[in-house]
Structure 1
Amino acid sequence: MNKPLIVFGATSFVGQILCRYLHELNHDGSLNWLMAARSEDKLKQLQQELSGPHTPEYRLADAANETQLRALCDEAAVIISTVGPYALYGEPLVKVCAETGTDYCDLTGETQWIKRMIDRYESQAQASGARIVHCCGFDSIPSDLGVWFLQQHAQEQLGSYCQQVKMRVRKFKGGFSGGTVASMMNVAKEAAKDPALRRELSDPYALCRAENKPRVRQHKIGAEMDEDVSSWIAPFVMEAINTRIVHRSNSLLGQPWGQDFLYDEAVMTGNDDKGKSRAKRTALGQSMMMVGFAIPPTRWLMSRFLPKPGEGPSPEMQRTGFFDLVFVGHTADNKTVRTTLYGERDPGYGATGRMLAQAALCLRDDVSREDKPGGFWTPASAMAAQLIPRLEQHAGLSFKTE
């Protein structure tokens, strides 16, 4: 039997969603997975909820205790971490995984922390064989695999990859959890104190390999009309992490889409005057939110009204949420490709739990170490061809060409 998956942070908001999903998948007892967290009382409570013929076992481990984390790594095939904000709590586990050769997945969206982990531990992961794959949730699997899917279609149908790809959010229904809010606040807090970090966060190629880091200027989305989708558009809140992951995928794959590859993301707001107004309000609102997170008094005030860690969308909201994305690609000779990606359930929680679980299973069961050796990978560069069928069969995602 394969060594188990271990969900670390099992009692967190997303961790519980993930554990319930794995429990559903394990109807025949063949999955082999464990839960881990620091609170035995909370683990027992979750274990009782998941009781039955295949009740999962649990292990105790604290995010700051390397001895306990090393014991988890000794037992695990893949560790799935939901312990955020990762910039505050995530480093010890990445360090131990890199040292012990243990595969790892998470759902971080914290660019500055990912860069820090790559700089500090990539050489150890390459030496030990650990495959570290960040951003295996809504940020950034749909963007990363959506671009990869479009590019494969372009190559097959047109004989060339697209030099420019746009992702547009057509429709979206979902909510924030306290963990996401805490992560966003921490990024803004760090950036407010550090000019070098602000420059790093503004660099679309911050996560690319130094030896093939592009220099082409990327388009910065504002409130504008996009003729490709016949709609006004506004910045998409997840763009800051998703674009960095997509560019890193191009870098890790050897730049098949070109060193001058362009990629941006936006939300569609409508093609009339109301759509124009919504685009302007959305762009302004996002700017004001990040400024508010960066200033201590407003950050404190906003924290009183936003979800706290452990809080998030209700089960009904998770079940009825969805996301509908369109990707438009242009080749260098002005040919166009369009693909779509639809996902069931709340994108940040219901869908994310499923994507994260399937990414970990894919890494364990479908991706050989000969094909993908140790190092820091993205979802697309590590396992796109193997993961897309899993997501369509088991996670409610649908990739289509138009």
Structure 2
Amino acid sequence: MTDQTFDIIVYGATSFVGQIMTRYMQAQFADGSIRWAIAGRSKSKLETLCKDAGLSGIEMLVADAGDEAALKAMCARAKVIVSTVGPYALYGDTLVKVCAETGTHYCDLTGEPQWIRRMQDRHEDAARQSGAWILHCCGFDSIPSDLGVHFLQQQAAKRFGQTCNRINMRVAKIKGGASGGTIASMINMVKEASGDAELRAQLKDPYSICPPGHGFTARQPDVQMAYDEEYGSWIAPFIMAAINARVVHRSNALSQNSYGDGFLYEEAMVSGKGGGGKRAARAISWGMTGAMIALALPPTRWLLENHVLPKPGEGPSEQQQREGEYDLVFLGTTPRGDKIRCRVTGDRDPGYGSTAKMLAQAAACLAKDLPDTTPGGFWTPASLMGDKLIARLEAHAGLSFELVEASG
């Protein structure tokens, strides 16, 4: 990377979340602390973004997701590439390959476990050899979950001298709109799985993105509609739980099993107390099951894609992003039975307003905060950035990590 000019290049800057992120970065790094540029496949769209967002003086690079030569030229200009070009299973392979081979650090906001596993299998050796840090899941899936567990485990170790062997995350509050890009990624995953029995089995494995030889065998909880005595509320399945739990388990493996060999982790949505809470939990549970069945059947999937669900490039309005928020509560138990809780909150729509800030700060952390001696490979937010990223998120991205109570 002899011609390295930029700390960060935002690839896919004209995507829905890419536009939010570039506006945020323009304000956040106006002091010149981060040298950055934007990139994408359409020069005209990049020019329109610069005009609309007031990105004066920002360099534009043109590269198609399938053009390896153009992507290599782009990577030669940057220390970190941050990609918002999804569904990643359709458009992300070549960029990860190039970053892994050239030693260019990389982060994205994918929530596609089947693609993450393919990238690890194909490019982990190259990333280790080149020194590239490859980071997936740097948005709402899965930074709050991954760093929430990391934060709680550190607090447990300080207070009790041991980490928790079980943590339950409860979505106490969540407000935000859906995006067509996220829907498209989910639909693509369902399409892939419907014709691939091996992939369907992989998607049932909570350790599917853990490194080979991880040795984890604990049967992980399968959350259904239930009453949670510890939290004091009815709960229902949470749609992001599958990817979040996989990232948390990979963090455990990459930290030398610091959470324990039999660590249990689960996530669920809080729906309230009494009869109303029970009915809400049932509606969420049945709704998720029905949606997955509908997406798995080609006729109903076509109907949803073309007439019901938002298209890629569509998403919540600026007002919806500002009014969005989330509140996640983590309940930990140590092997001795000590209890501890923490809360992670965000001040924007989780999937877009908050995700854009998290992704930008993850890229900045890769560019500025980590020692060059850190080995290359496929990391997770907690295992690679940990406390450094928490500090950035609390200072600049509207997140808070707070210990709620502890006893024992």
Is residue 188 of structure 1 aligned with residue 190 of structure 2?
Answer: yes
**Within-5 A mapping of 1:184-333:** 184-303=186-305, 304-333=307-336
Q: Distance in 1 between matches of 2:347 and 2:316?
A: 15
Query: Which of 138, 149, 164 does residue 136 from structure 1 map onto?
Result: 138
Whether the 8 Å contact between 2:5 and 2:77 is mirrored in structure 1 is no
Q: Distance in 2 between matches of 1:40 and 1:361?
A: 25
Q: CA deviation at 1:260?
A: 0.1
SS of aligned partner of 1:211: coil
SS of aligned partner of 1:212: coil
List per-residue Cα deviations over 1:48-71 (Å, max 9, x = no partner): 12336x531110010000011001
Q: CA deviation at 1:374?
A: 0.5
List per-residue Cα deviations over 1:300-347 (Å, max 9, x = no partner): 111121110110000000111000010000001111000001101000
Q: Distance in 2 between matches of 1:194 and 1:2?
A: 43
**Within-5 A mapping of 1:113-128:** 113-128=115-130
List per-residue Cα deviations over 1:60-115 (Å, max 9, x = no partner): 01000001100111001100000000000000000000010000000000000000
4+ aligned runs moved over 3 Å, structure 1: none
TM-score (norm 1): 0.98
Is residue 5 of structure 1 aligned with residue 2 of structure 2?
Answer: no
Is residue 109 of structure 1 aligned with residue 97 of structure 2?
Answer: no
Q: Distance in 1 between matches of 2:127 and 2:225?
A: 42
Query: Which of 395, 399, 405 does residue 397 from structure 1 map onto?
Result: 399
List per-residue Cα deviations over 1:13-65 (Å, max 9, x = no partner): 0110111110111222332100000111110011112336x531110010000
Sequence identity of aligned pairs in percent?
55
For 1:320, give the aligned amino acid.
Answer: E
Counterpart for residue 63 of structure 1: 65
SS of aligned partner of 1:150: helix
Query: Which of 380, 383, 390 does residue 381 from structure 1 map onto?
Result: 383
Aligned length: 400
Question: Which deviates the most, 205-214 or 315-324?
Answer: 205-214
Q: CA deviation at 1:266?
A: 0.2
For 2:323, give the aligned amino acid.
Answer: T
For 2:26, give the aligned amino acid.
Answer: H
Query: Which of 93, 98, 101 does residue 99 from structure 1 map onto?
Result: 101
Q: Distance in 1 between matches of 2:279 and 2:232?
A: 15
Question: Which deviates the most, 132-141 or 41-50?
Answer: 41-50
For 2:264, give the aligned amino acid.
Answer: L
Q: CA deviation at 1:2?
A: 7.1
Q: Distance in 2 between matches of 1:213 and 1:200?
A: 16
Q: Distance in 2 between matches of 1:55 and 1:318?
A: 27
Q: CA deviation at 1:200?
A: 0.2
Whether the 8 Å contact between 1:208 and 1:248 is mirrored in structure 2 is yes
SS of aligned partner of 1:364: helix
List per-residue Cα deviations over 1:159-207 (Å, max 9, x = no partner): 1100000100000001111100000000011111111101100100101
Counterpart for residue 51 of structure 2: 48
Q: Distance in 1 between matches of 2:225 and 2:344?
A: 23
Show structure 2 runs of 5+ residues with no match.
none
Whether the 8 Å contact between 2:6 and 2:37 is mirrored in structure 1 is no
Whether the 8 Å contact between 1:50 and 1:56 is mirrored in structure 2 is no
CA RMSD, Structure 1 to Structure 2 (Å): 1.1
Q: Distance in 1 between matches of 2:317 and 2:260?
A: 43
Whether the 8 Å contact between 1:154 and 1:160 is mirrored in structure 2 is yes
Counterpart for residue 364 of structure 2: 361
Q: Distance in 2 between matches of 1:12 and 1:51?
A: 17
